[in-house]
Every structure is written in C-alpha cells, then in structure tokens.
C-alpha cells in the first residue's frame, strides 16, 4: 500500500518534470500528457519488463494514469511553471529520482534479484524515465550533464536501500531518510555546481557548457 | 487471420513512412530497411513485450519482415516518393496509426487486460513506432508537433475499439469504420491545422513552428 | 562458458566505444559509465526481454558490470583515447558488432526461435546497443551513416551463424572465422568508403555528408 503511494508520488514528480519540459519545448497539452506519462511511467515499465513477472504495474493498474493527468493540468493552468532559471523542472525531477531509486530497488529485491542486480535495477528505474523524456524531446539527457551529479545520488540511494533491506532495517523511517538524502544531494550538487572528472580525463572548466 | 492481415497492412503503412523519412535524411537502403522495420514493428514489439506472453509476433513470424522489405523497395525505386509538401509520409503514417490503435487494443484485450489498460496499450502500439522512428532519425517526434492532432485520433480509436469489444459489437464493419474515422480525423487535422492548447497554457500563434 | 566470455568481450568492446563517445561529448566519468553500460548491455537486454525467458543476463549476473567499469577506467586514464580521425571508437564498435551478431544469434537459436527469427534477433542484438548509444548522446546512429556499411556485415554474420548452427558445423573455429569476417568487412567498408544506394534511389556523391 505505502509502496503504491510512494510509486505514485514519484510518478507525479517525474510527470511534472515532463510537462514542464513539454511547455518549454512548446508542445501542446496532449504532448504534455504523453511526455509526462513517458517520464513518469517509463522507468517503472522497463523495470517490470526486465523482472518479467506479468504486465507492468503502469498498464495493470489504471490509477497510474492519474499522476500524469494531474501534472499536465497543473502545468497547463500555470499552477506550476518554469521561472527564469528553470529550477522547478530540476526540483521535481530530483523528487522523482529520490523516490524511484528506492521503489525500484525494493521491487527488484522483492522479485528475488541478487542485491547488486536489485540496486542496478533501482538505478535503471530512477534514471530511465528521465533519459526517455530528454531523448524524446531531442535533448541530451540531464544524466549526462557534467554540471552537478545525477546518477551518483541515485546509485547511493539504491545501494542504501538494498543494504538496509538485507540487514532487515528498512522501514518507513529508513525510506524517508534515504529519499531526503538523495534529494538533498542532487539539489545541492546543482546549486554548488559539483562535478566529477570528465570521461576522457581532466575536469570541466568554469566557462564550459 | 484478418487480424494478421490488418497488422501486416498497418506495418506496411508505417514502414513506408520510415523509408520516406530515411530518403529525406539521405540514409542508404539498408538504413531505410532498418528504419522501416523499426517503425513498422517497434510499436507491436513493445506491446507484446508488455503483455508478456511469449516471443513478440514480429520475431516469431518471419512474414512480418515482408512489409518493411516491400516499403524499402517501393521508396528506393521511387514508386512512392516525397513531394514538395511531404504529404505521403504523413498519409502513410496516418494509415499505420489508424490500424495500429485498433490492432493493439484488440491484442491487449484478448490478453485479458482491463479495458482502460487495453486502450492505453493500443495507444502505445499506435504511437510507439512513430516515436522510435523520429527519435532514431534525430527529429522531434511528430506526436509532439503542435500543428494538427496526432494522439487524439489514436486515443479515440482505441477507446471506440475497446467500447465496441466490451459491448460485443466489434466486427469487420466496426473495425473499418473506426479505422476510417481515425485516418480522416488525423488527415483533416493536418489540412485544417487544428491545434489544442499548449502545454504551458495559451495557444500556438500562426507564425510559430 | 565460452559464450559468457564472448559476450563479456563484446560487451567490453561496445563499452569502450560508449566511453569514447562520452569523452568526445564532454560527459563526466559517471556519464561515461552509464553510456558504456547502455551500449554494452542494451542490445543484450533487448534480446533477452524479447526472448522472454527470465531476467536478462546483464541484470542476473553482476559480472556484466565489469566490462563497462573497465572501459570507463581505460578511457578516463587515457589508456584508450580518440585520435584525430576518431578511429578507435569505430574499431571497438566493429569488434562489438562482430561478436554480438554471433552471440545474439546463438542465444536466440538456443531459445528455440525459428532460423530467420534467430538471425533477426542476432542483428537486433548487434545493432541495438549502438543505436541506443548514439540516440542517447543525441547523434544520428552510425547504422544510418551512408559512408561504409554497418548492418550488412552484422546481417551476414548472423546468417552465417544460424546456417552453421543448423548444419551442425558451428564451433570455436567457425565462430572465430565469422567474427573476423564481420570485423574485417566493417573496417574495410569504412576505409574504402563503400556505400550502397540511397533510400530514395541514387547514390551518395563524394561531397555529401
């Protein structure tokens, strides 16, 4: 039950990020609904297809359509809208990331996957939807933006989730702490412009990007 | 049997749209064959993977390779080619959309999915292949183009299909009527430049896009 | 056992191509690891999801994470790096292509697929990861580049694999010969700038692209 709520909340956060990107790209409300659904549901569908235990939740339970619909409405009525420095998109995306790395890891762990595999699938769930959103909107995915760290908080969140699950310590408190940790880490990394070394060696210079 | 024919016809329509896009992007005939296969078979493969009942039709039955091969040949020999205003691509795409929203919904319904889920999967089947085609060719997907409506006809077609199925009215006549309705709606929306409100509120202006 | 080694080697080759592309696009090391994983594991995950026999190898066996990690390290320390004419990326990509069209075909054949379907799935495995790599990095996939041939060597490799499997001739020697054949064909096609007719008829001119 609480897993469903967490999953729906994460879906909603990601869906808002999708609708905000749709607004920035001048898509219409139907495109907004589709992009919101893709980012909100895409990661979870991939996870469920990989686990291979029946029809993915997003298709089996119509309640999963509500978050994208709500997100589309909130953005279309400008209750949520982008400001000059486009922070809302990043914040909602960070919220989805924080919840999905936990929900994805738990789902994979419950399906009987190895601890490492469960964490990897949690990371895939968390990062997958956002990659689809950005690819479909013809942008380089945020996960590859060398300003700030994106995958590292999700990796840590998935690892902490699987660790506490294995130790029998996972519960509401642990889940909340991990989610807050991932969210704060992601947001701080954008604010403070953390970066890790570049793929080909060296580090980013201030004037790049 | 007639389902297979409908599916192959829809695959052919989408495949032609893929080969035409390959021609516009100056890909070679092998790229044309691959893009035709991706758009023609991609939506159905996603549908079958999500339903999760064995190997997707496109891989289990080699006859599904014929439509992409035929489409590639027709475009390479310029029997079908783009004119100034690139209408053929949009027409063939609309034909695929009209057939796939029906075939996809029926397949999902037969697999025992909930009515809402069946319609959603029908929409995914109809829209999925075209999104893959455009993403792989590095274009913003047509489904996000605010000129004309793309997903709405497919949504209506999927909804009508599931409704007539549930009521026991679905048959050849109903199927044909729904397909024609979706096709005409899509084509009219392009000709008459219908549009719906933008994702971030407001409407498109004449000079945009 | 030797299948696992071949698969890991192919994964490593593709992973290096992903890390090299990440370096060229100025992604950071985490992005490099993700792109290496996507290209190295993406094709195989698609293959396993389509075959539908349990959790894909890449998620079931954590050893599959080693090649992307190794590739990321080799590129980050500049042990492997791009030279002026960006040949290393193409060479490693050709190596992955040569091994994956064989491994993919064998896997599909062992799962009981029809000969044509097995070859098609082998082609999908070989080409799929590279397409994901290029799409996610916002480039037109190499498979659509009309300079050189990309899919044809993989098609021939998959066809030869399925042929020798059906005839009972497949073994270490046949596998090595096919891999070398695919690799050499791909590399020669780049060096000698082979091309096939364009999708819309006609051939590429020297000044194009």
pLDDT range class, residue C146, cuts 50, 70, 90: confident
Taking any CB pair shorter than 8 Å as contact, residues of chain C touching chain B are: 49-52, 113-114, 116-117, 120-121, 127, 131, 135, 138-141, 143-144, 146, 149-152, 195-201, 204, 208-209
Q: What is the pLDDT, as a whole number, of residue A69?
A: 97
Residue carrying structure tokens 């119509």:
A62
Alpha helices in C111-150 (DSSP H): 115-136
Q: How far is A88 from chain B (nearest CA, A)?
A: 13
Chain A hits for C20, Cβ within 8 Å: 200
Whether the pLDDT of residue B96 is over 80: the answer is: yes
**What's the gap in Å between the CA of B83 and the closest CA on chain C?**
12
- The proportion of chain B whose per-residue pLDDT surpasses 90, expressed as a percent, equals 79
| Cβ partners under 8 Å of residue B193, min gap 6 | B147, B148
At B1, is the pLDDT very low, low, confident or very high (cuts 50, 70, 90)?
low
For A104-108, A196-200, C36-40, which range has the lowest pLDDT when averaged over its residues? A196-200
- Cβ neighbours of A138 in B, within 8 Å: 135, 138-140
Q: State chain A's mean pLDDT as an integer.
A: 92
Average pLDDT over residues A60-76: 95
Q: Angle B187-A41-A7 (CA atoms, 0-180°, nearest 5)?
A: 150
Q: What is the mean pLDDT of chain C?
A: 92
Q: Which residues of C touch A143 (CB under 8 A)?
A: 31, 34
Mind listing the pLDDT tens digit for each residue in B105-122? 999 999 999 999 999 999
Report the alpha-carbon distance of residue B85 to residue B187 in Å, rounded.
Answer: 14
A contact chains, 3+ CB pairs < 8 A: B, C
| Count of pairs with CB atoms under 8 A, one residue in A, one in B | 103
Gap from A79 CA to chain C (nearest CA, Å):
31
B77-112 per-residue burial string, b: 16 or more CB within 10 A, e: under 16? eeebbbeeeeebbbbbbbbbbbbbbbbbbbbbbebe
Q: Could you tell me which chain A residue has the CA closest to the CA of C133?
A: A135
Query: Which pLDDT score is estimated for A207?
Result: 47
- The predicted pLDDT at position B148 comes to 87
Examine the pLDDT at C155 and tell me if it is beyond 60.
yes
Least confident of B4-13, B164-173, C82-91: C82-91
ipTM reported for the complex surpasses 0.90: yes
Radius of gyration, alpha carbons of chain A: 17
- pLDDT band with cut points at 50, 70 and 90 for residue B178: very high
pLDDT tops 60 at residue B207: no
Calpha distance A59→A55 (Å, rounded): 7
Q: Residue A209 — pLDDT band, cuts 50, 70, 90?
A: very low
Per-residue pLDDT band for B201 (boundaries 50, 70, 90) equals confident
Q: Choose among A116, A139, A196: nearest Cβ to C30.
A: A196
pLDDT in tens, C174-206: 999 999 999 999 999 999 988 889 988 887 664
Contact (Cβ atoms closer than 8 angstroms) between residue C139 and residue B138: yes
Q: Which of A14-18, B51-55, C17-21 has the lowest mean pLDDT?
A: B51-55
Would you list the DSSP string of B60-79?
Answer: H-GGGGHHHHHHHHHHHTTS
C91-101: average pLDDT: 96
Choose, out of A132, A144, A209, the residue to mutate when testing the contact with C (most C CBs < 10 Å). Answer: A144
Q: Where are the domains of chain C?
A: 2-191
Considering only CB atoms, which residues of chain A are within 8 Å of chain B?
19-20, 22-35, 45, 49, 52, 54-56, 59-60, 62, 65, 72, 75-78, 81-82, 135-138
Q: What is the CA radius of gyration of chain B?
A: 17
- Dihedral sign, CA of A149, A152, A153, A154? positive
The string of pLDDT tens digits covering residues A116-174 is 999 999 999 999 999 999 999 988 899 999 888 999 999 999 999 999 999 999 999 99
Residues A27, B146: C-beta atoms closer than 8 Å? yes
Q: Compute the average pLDDT of residues A29-58.
A: 94
Q: Distance (Å, rounded) from C-alpha C195 to C-alpha A3?
A: 54
| Residue count (chain B) | 209
What confidence score (pLDDT) does residue C202 get?
81
Q: Please check whether residue A51 is in contact with residue B52, taking contact to mean a CB–CB distance below 8 angstroms.
A: no
Q: Find which of B15, B16, B25, B30 to mutate to test the C interface (most C CBs within 10 Å of its CB).
A: B30
Residues 6+ apart with CB under 8 A from B34: C127, C143, C144, C151
Minimal Cβ distance to B75: which of C121, C140, C199: C199
Q: Which residues contact A13 (CB under 8 A, 6 or more apart)?
A: A92, A93, A95, A96, A99
Helix axes A29-51, A66-76, angle to 10 degrees: 150
pLDDT of residue A7: 94
Q: How far apart are CA C92 and CA C143, in angstroms?
A: 15
Q: In the predicted model, what is the mean pLDDT of chain B?
A: 92
Structure tokens at B108: 């999902």
| Least Cα separation, residue C126 to chain B (angstroms) | 13
Compute the count of residue pairs across chains A and C with CB atoms less than 8 Å apart. 103
Mutation to test the A interface, candidates B134, B138, B199, B209, most A Cβ within 10 Å: B199
Residue C171: Cβ within 10 Å count: 9
**In the predicted model, what is the mean pLDDT of residues B74-84?**
86
pLDDT for residue A84 is more than 70 = no
CB C82 within 8 A of CB A203: no
Question: What is the band of B146 on the pLDDT scale with cuts at 50, 70, 90?
Answer: confident
Query: Shortest CA distance to B119 belongs to which of B133, B107, B129, B131?
Result: B107
Among candidate residues C72, C74, C14, C62, the one with its CA nearest the CA of residue C38: C14
Contact B115, B57 (CB under 8 A): no
């Amino acid at each position: 039950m609480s897993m469903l709520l967490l999953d729906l909340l994460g879906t909603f956060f990601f869906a808002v990020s999708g609708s905000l990107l749709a607004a920035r790209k001048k898509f219409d409300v139907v495109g907004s609904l589709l992009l919101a659904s893709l980012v909100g549901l895409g990661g979870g569908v991939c996870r469920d297809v990989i686990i291979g235990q029946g029809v993915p939740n997003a298709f089996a339970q119509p309640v999963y359509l509500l978050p994208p619909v709500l997100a589309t409405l909130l953005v279309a009525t400008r209750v949520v809208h982008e400001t000059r420095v486009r922070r809302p998109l990043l914040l909602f995306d960070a919220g989805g990331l924080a919840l999905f790395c936990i929900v994805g890891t738990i789902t994979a762990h419950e399906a009987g996957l190895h601890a490492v595999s469960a964490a990897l699938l949690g990371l895939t769930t968390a990062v997958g939807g956002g990659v689809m959103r950005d690819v479909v909107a013809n942008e380089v995915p945020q996960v590859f933006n060398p300003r700030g760290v994106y995958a590292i908080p999700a990796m840590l969140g998935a690892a902490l989730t699987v660790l506490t699950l294995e130790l029998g310590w996972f519960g509401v408190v642990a889940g909340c702490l991990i989610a807050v940790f991932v969210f704060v880490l992601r947001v701080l990394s954008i604010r403070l412009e953390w970066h890790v070394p570049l793929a080909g060696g060296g580090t980013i210079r201030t004037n790049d990007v």
